[in-house]
Structure 1
Amino acid sequence: MSASIDTSQKTLLSTKKLAEHQKQLLLNSGLGLVEYDFISVKPQSFEINIIPRNLIFSSKNAVLAVLDHPKVDLLKERKSFAVGVKTSALLRENGFTIARIANNAEELAYEIKEFHKMEEFMFFCGKKRLDAIPSQLRENGIGLTEVEVYDTILKPKKFDRIFDGVLFFSPSGVESYCSENDLSESIAFCIGNTTASEAKKYTNQVVIASNPSIENVIVQAVKKLGKKQWPGSL
């Protein structure tokens, strides 16, 4: 007699490949998991001349791109403003001094215009960067130099199935997935508000992480769809 198939198991798609401990959080809760990297990051060469006292990093990708630059030691002498705990942690690990950490770009822009309005900044970003930081700083007369240090490449893939939930970690990930797949019948679990805003173009079912981390996106999915729970939160 053949083994019966558990048709009640709900399955998630992660739009980026997860670390082993992150996968176990999902699998231990009775959820199925499919993974695929819907975007890739390509560092690009860049020039920097006069370096102001303050630097802005809105992603780990920007930090990684800067670490290989010949002037990285000069950059470490400046103050860094970071979006996200993991971005700031990577900066600290590599000898940068952190002035401020914010949960998202909008929050960081607000803190800069409230407390650093007379200062100048250099923003290391991707080619597809969001407009929240540049627009808010320039509208308030704050000096800003943008330096594009990486490009985000979309890698769409068609899946011939509907997933119960899809984990998204960037607006580009949403764009890439939805260019080939229907999201309308799935729950979109999003790392932050900007990612959620993109997902809302394609589905009415959107859940936003309570803090912007991959682990908390997973926690929200487990709370919503998992068979098993665990105490505490991430």
Structure 2
Amino acid sequence: MRVLSTKKLSEKQKSQVEGFTIDEIPMIRITYGDDFALEENIINAVFTSANSVRAVFENRPENCKWFHTVFCVGKKTKQLLEGYGLTVEVIANNALELAEVLAQRFSEQDEGIKEISWFCGNLRNNDLPIIMAENGVLVTEYLVYKTEFIPKALEVDYDAVLFFSPSGINSYLKKNQANSNPVVCIGNTTASQAIEFFDNVYMAEETTVESVLDKVKEILV
């Protein structure tokens, strides 16, 4: 079985799919700003990707002192935040789910400032700010990383393709056609994007790379 991963995998991750031929061909490039620094308290912080956590804390771990209540999407994001000593108040599977939780939380709040600070990339999904606006919650956006498409035309007919973000799908489709071969997606947002173009879409049980690899083994073996 030959599988395309649209991002680089660690050696440990590749060992999960021993016996498969895995071609690692990234379709997007992530770049971070230079030493993102904070000088103000962040009362309600939202991180919807692991990349946003890396952008804020990797070069300046002292940024942690400015954060109070933290919300996030995905287990990997939570793990990284906790690695910097932050406590995650709420974890959700995707931005839409988190937005609904936050909307409910703020609706039960009688007084105080209804505001969140969202640390995100340039291609972020609009579900969260739309739902927050509908519920009278101000969203301050911090664009802390940039996603660039690096599409590559492929000549191999893969038994399955692994996608880890909607932007990865969009980049892939710039130079390749969708077909009926299975694709495996890391979460609901990515799967929702894939369903618009592909006939045979699967979603990992959890929003982790490891879970994506488990799913591709399940459907191909």
Superposition TM-score, scaled by structure 2 size: 0.90
Match for residue 15 of structure 2 among 6, 17, 24: 24
Q: Report the equivalent of 2:86.
A: 96
Q: Report the equivalent of 1:212.
A: 207
The alpha-carbon distance between structure 1 residues 200 and 94, as it changes in their structure 2 partners (threshold 3 A), is same
Written as runs of structure 1 = structure 2, the 5 A alignment for 1:187-206 is 187-206=182-201
C-alpha deviation, 1:26, in angstroms:
1.1
- Whole-Å separation in 2 of the counterparts to 1:69 and 1:128: 23
Describe the SS at the equivalent of 1:79.
strand
Alignment partner of 1:180 is 2:175: yes
Alignment partner of 1:222 is 2:217: yes
Count of matched residue pairs: 214
Q: Report the equivalent of 2:33.
A: 44
Alignment partner of 1:164 is 2:159: yes
Match for residue 24 of structure 2 among 15, 35, 56: 35
- Whole-Å separation in 2 of the counterparts to 1:216 and 1:69: 30
Match for residue 12 of structure 1 among 3, 22, 29: 3
Check the 8 A contact 2:182/2:202 in 1, yes or no: yes
The alpha-carbon distance between structure 1 residues 171 and 14, as it changes in their structure 2 partners (threshold 3 A), is same
Match for residue 153 of structure 1 among 148, 151, 168: 148
One-letter amino acid matched to 1:162: D
C-alpha deviation, 1:65, in angstroms:
0.9
Give the unaligned 5+ runs of structure 2. Answer: none
Check the 8 A contact 2:40/2:66 in 1, yes or no: no
One-letter amino acid matched to 2:20: L
Q: Deviations over 1:132-191 (max 9, x none)?
A: 111111111012111111110111111112111000000011111111112213211001
Q: Report the equivalent of 1:144.
A: 139
Describe the SS at the equivalent of 2:17.
helix
Q: Deviations over 1:170-228 (max 9, x none)?
A: 001111111111221321100112111221232111001121111111111101102xx
Written as runs of structure 1 = structure 2, the 5 A alignment for 1:63-78 is 63-67=53-57, 68-69=59-60, 72-76=63-67, 78=68
Describe the SS at the equivalent of 1:162.
coil
C-alpha deviation, 1:70, in angstroms:
8.6
The alpha-carbon distance between structure 1 residues 11 and 70, as it changes in their structure 2 partners (threshold 3 A), is closer
Match for residue 54 of structure 1 among 44, 50, 73: 44
One-letter amino acid matched to 2:28: I
Check the 8 A contact 1:105/1:133 in 2, yes or no: yes
- Whole-Å separation in 2 of the counterparts to 1:89 and 1:220: 22
The alpha-carbon distance between structure 1 residues 156 and 64, as it changes in their structure 2 partners (threshold 3 A), is same
Check the 8 A contact 2:28/2:148 in 1, yes or no: yes
How much is the aligned-residue C-alpha RMSD, in angstroms?
A: 1.8
Flag the structure with larger Rg: 1
